[in-house]
Amino acid sequence: MPTLKPGTIPPTPEEDAAIEEALVNDADSYVMTDAEWQHASQKARIGRPKAETTKERITIRLSADVLAKFRATGPGWQTRINTALESWLAGR
């Protein structure tokens, strides 16, 4: 159980039982099964799916004019730097 903020008054066991009973008897409430929770948690992943081959985050120092020229090409300039380096390696 997470640490509660100072001054938080947790419900007594009787209050907790009354809350649980109200939830069970409420026609609008629904208790999900473990399988439903598992399915929901798999669908709730946010963001881009993981790539098969990932890239490594590094720090690199480039001259200002090289960086300015790549940035001027718009979004995706870092990918274009990667492509240029791959092309250079292939030509060696």
Q: Where are the domains of the chain?
A: 13-90
> Residue 75 corresponds to which amino acid?
P
pLDDT score at 1: 63
Q: Give the number of other Cβ atoms within 10 Å of residue 55's Cβ.
A: 9
pLDDT score at 90: 95
- pTM, 2 dp: 0.47
Map tokens 């590094």 to a residue: 58
- Output the average pLDDT for the chain: 89
C-alpha–C-alpha distance, residues 88 and 66, integer Å: 15
- 86 class by beta-carbon count within 10 Å (0-12 exposed, 13-18 middle, 19+ buried): exposed
pLDDT in tens, 38-74: 887 776 677 777 788 888 999 999 999 999 999 999 9
